[in-house]
Each structure stands twice: as C-alpha cells, then as structure tokens.
Structure 1
Amino acid sequence: MHFFKKSWIFPSLFTLVILTVGGFYIGSLINKQEPIAAEAIRTQLESMYGGTVDQISITNGVYQAEMTRGEAVYSAEVDAVTGSVLSLSKTGEIKEEIPDVLSESKVKGIIEGKYSGETDRISLNTGGESPIYEVELSKDPKFTKVTVDAVTGEIISETKKETTGESVLISMEDAITIAEAQLIGEVDDVSYERTTDGGYYLIQIDSDDDGEGTFQIHAISGEIMSITWED
C-alpha cells in the first residue's frame, strides 16, 4: 500500500483561514459607523426638550447627558450612532438658594436709627434679584415707606409723604379737639399751612375767661408747636 505525501494541503488551509478572518475584519471596518459628535447630540437634546445640557459623555456607543429644564434636572441616554433617545428621566429639582437675610428686629433697629417715625408694618420680599424689606412708617413727618436691602441693611429707596391738607395724619377735627383740650371757648378760625415737614394747623379759640389763643398744631404728629395769646 502506497502513501502519498500531500505537503500542499496545510499551506492551502492556512491561507484560506487567513483570507476568511481578514474578510470578516475588513467587512466590520466597512460596516462600522462613526459616532455623532457630542456637540451635535447636545444641540439635538436642547432643541428637542428646550433645556440646557450641562454635561455629556460617551460610553460603549451611548451618550449620557445631564440636562436642566426649568427647575428640574434630567438624565438622558442617546444612541451615539443613530442619535435616537434611548431614555429620559427626571433626577432632581433645582432649589433656589436664598442668601442669609437680616432679622426683622435688626431692620427695625436700622429704621429707628434713621427715621423719627415708628415701624407700622415690615415685610420680606424675595421675588426680585435680591431680597428686600419693605417698611411702612407711621408718625414720620417726611416718609411713609422705606425699602431696605435684606442682606446688607442698606437703604435702597424712600417714599416721601405728600404735604397737603388731604394727606395729613391729623385731621382738622382732631386738631380742634387737641386745641380745645387746652382752652375751652369758641373756635373762631382754622387754617392749614403747608410745609416740607408735614404742615400744621392754626386754630384760634376765643375764651371769655382767658382771652384768645392761637394754637399751632403739627398736622402729622398732633404736637402743639406753639401757643400765641391775645388779650
């Protein structure tokens, strides 16, 4: 029995294997697609959801993005090749941080040190760019409202009183009552004088026993500023 040595078989098989493996490798390179650029994915998400992409990264062909929209935070996964959104979920909310503000008592102390009136009402307003206190004053001859920076205590604005007879705190009837408490008699004349500090009333009262007295009464505080007597 004769055996024939076929030395050509093994090199042929080896060549076939190399060609097959190489073909698969070249085919995978041809079919492989490059991922979409991260900036393009960012623009796509912001356009689709109207938010802002804060972070974006890619792992195993999938983009992971963190996005804020309004007061909420979202996490998104996007196919890096097709751009398809694989998932979108809300992960948290943004809490607005309000800086430390002065206490109401501290603000009242600031007001009392600068104004002659009394604090009638005080309220904290945090709706603007920075928190403020709005303080309404009473019995101050010049001002009705003061706005204070709630963080620094700085006076931001002042609202002045109108010094007309119609806007004074003490009415004409009140002023007469104050004068009559000092002198009993007949009221001869009442007038209002406008000034920069709130104005005053001049009230003339004729008394049979004590003569005639003219009372100058402050139209804001009700204080008797002066009394002039005539026999």
Structure 2
Amino acid sequence: MKNLRKPWALPLIFTIIILVAGGFFIGSLMTKKTPLSSEEIQDQLETIYDGKVEKLTLEKGVYLAEITRTDALYSAEVDAVSGKVLVLNQLSKVEEAKPQILSEKGVREEIAKKYTGEIERLSLNENKEQPVYNAEVVKEKALVELQVNAITGEIISEKKIETTTEDVLITRDEAIKIALGQLKGEVEYAVFKETDDGGYYLVEIEQDNEDTDDIEAIFHIHAITGKTLFVEWDD
C-alpha cells in the first residue's frame, strides 16, 4: 500500500488498465467475421444445386433463399459467415407443362395450307403416345386419309382411299348412278372402302336448292349387291 502513495504508481496502473482494455477491443475486432455477400451466396447455391435463386434475404446472420430447379421449388437456410447450408426443404414440385393441343379450327387451317379440297371428317385421337388428328379430305373427287400431329399441325401420313378393286361387282360409276337415283345433285366424291364382306362405296352428293338450304348426303352402297346400306344426311 505504500507503493500506491508514490507519485509514479497511479499513472502506471492506469496505463496497464488501458492496455488490457485495448487488447480486448482489438481482439474482438480480429475475431469478428464479415458475412458473405448475397452475390456470393447466390452463386454458391446455384452452383451446388444447379438451379436458380429466386429470393434471398439476410436475417440474424442467416440467409433465407428460395431455389427453383427443373423438378421442384426448394427453401434453404445458409450461415451468412461460413456459407454452410443449414436447412434445405422442398416446397413444391414443379409440374411439367403439357403441350397444348391444336383446336379443330387450327388443324383445319393447317390442312388448308396444303389441300384445297373439303375436309369431310376430323377427329382427335389422344390414346397414342403422340396425339393425332385423323382427317379425310376430298381431293380430285377421291378421299385422302390424313394423320396430323395434334401439337404442331404437321401432316404425319397421307393415304389415298382406293376407288375400286378387281373383286367387286359394282363399279364406281354404277355406285354413283345408284346414289344419283336417290338424290339428284353434284357428286362431291365417290370412293371404295374394302371390308371382309366385299366392301362398299361412299358417294357424297350435294343438292343445290335455290329457295332452301342445300342438302348433302353420303350414300353407303354395297360393292357386291349394289344395295344402299344407309345414308348420312346433312341438311
């Protein structure tokens, strides 16, 4: 206690206190680490998970991120200093977008670019791996069967329906005559369809009526007997 009364003792004690306090302060500055930037965290996450960071926020030393991959949407929590991923959760699964099927109007427009004839039939078949439209088009008074890609409108196949075969008894001209005997008008087409019982002709006739609406009919005429199997009327 006698030393404290000496004039040089108090300044020495204050000097020691200042040095110790300064050492603690400098030490805390040296041990304190700066958080990684959001750009660094984003680059790191996109590289690791091969996705795209949609949202990134910093809260209490932790980056909160949302990452979109081709298969799903994920959330992540990342240590802001070390960059270590603390938590990764799948939020939702990304539904694969289904290709849009062309409307009947759209398919008709695509067919009309290559065929000037009238489209007689058009139906959608979605049972195949690739959905297709099946169509029948009048071409030079004969029918052409088409398969059209229902997504792109591309014509996949074209098949002309045969007008006659060697085995039938009724010729194409005779089938037309039989049909005209039931409805007078202009023959749109006459084609033969083969079946196990001898086949039949399809003869479409359009009757032009000045005073009333036009009448259209498709006659199904048996190629062996010449009998009219049935008639499709469109009046």
- TM (norm. structure 2) is 0.51
Superposed CA RMSD in Å reads 4.6
Question: 1:46 and 1:112 mapped to 2: Cα distance?
Answer: 46
> CA 1:175–1:12 in 2, change beyond 3 Å: closer, same or farther?
farther
Question: 2:51 and 2:110 mapped to 1: Cα distance?
Answer: 44
CA shift, 1:172, in A, is: 0.5
Question: 2:22 and 2:202 mapped to 1: Cα distance?
Answer: 106
SS at match of 2:29: helix
CA shift, 1:26, in A, is: 1.9
> CA 1:102–1:48 in 2, change beyond 3 Å: closer, same or farther?
closer
CA shift, 1:79, in A, is: 1.2
CA shift, 1:107, in A, is: 5.9
CA shift, 1:69, in A, is: 1.8
Question: 2:204 and 2:54 mapped to 1: Cα distance?
Answer: 68
Worse overlay, 93-102 or 49-58: 93-102
- Give CA-to-partner distance per residue, 1:172-197, whole Å, 9 cap, x none: 05754345966xxxxxxxxxxxxxxx
Structure 1 partner of 2:123: 121
Equivalent pairs, count: 172
- TM (norm. structure 1) is 0.51
> CA 1:147–1:174 in 2, change beyond 3 Å: closer, same or farther?
farther
Question: 2:60 and 2:204 mapped to 1: Cα distance?
Answer: 88
Question: 2:57 and 2:163 mapped to 1: Cα distance?
Answer: 71
Structure 1 partner of 2:165: 172
Contact 1:142 1:161 in 2 (8 A): yes
> CA 1:179–1:123 in 2, change beyond 3 Å: closer, same or farther?
closer
CA shift, 1:72, in A, is: 0.8
- Give CA-to-partner distance per residue, 1:78-133, whole Å, 9 cap, x none: 112212111111112334566987766x66887999752433531469x99xxxx7
SS at match of 1:28: helix
CA shift, 1:50, in A, is: 2.5
> CA 1:224–1:68 in 2, change beyond 3 Å: closer, same or farther?
closer
1:137 to 135, 138, 145: 135
Which residue identity is paired with 2:170?
A: T
Question: 1:40 and 1:224 mapped to 2: Cα distance?
Answer: 73
CA shift, 1:9, in A, is: 9.3
Which residue identity is paired with 2:56?
A: I
Which residue identity is paired with 1:134?
A: V
Unaligned runs of 5+ in 2: 176-189, 194-200, 206-235
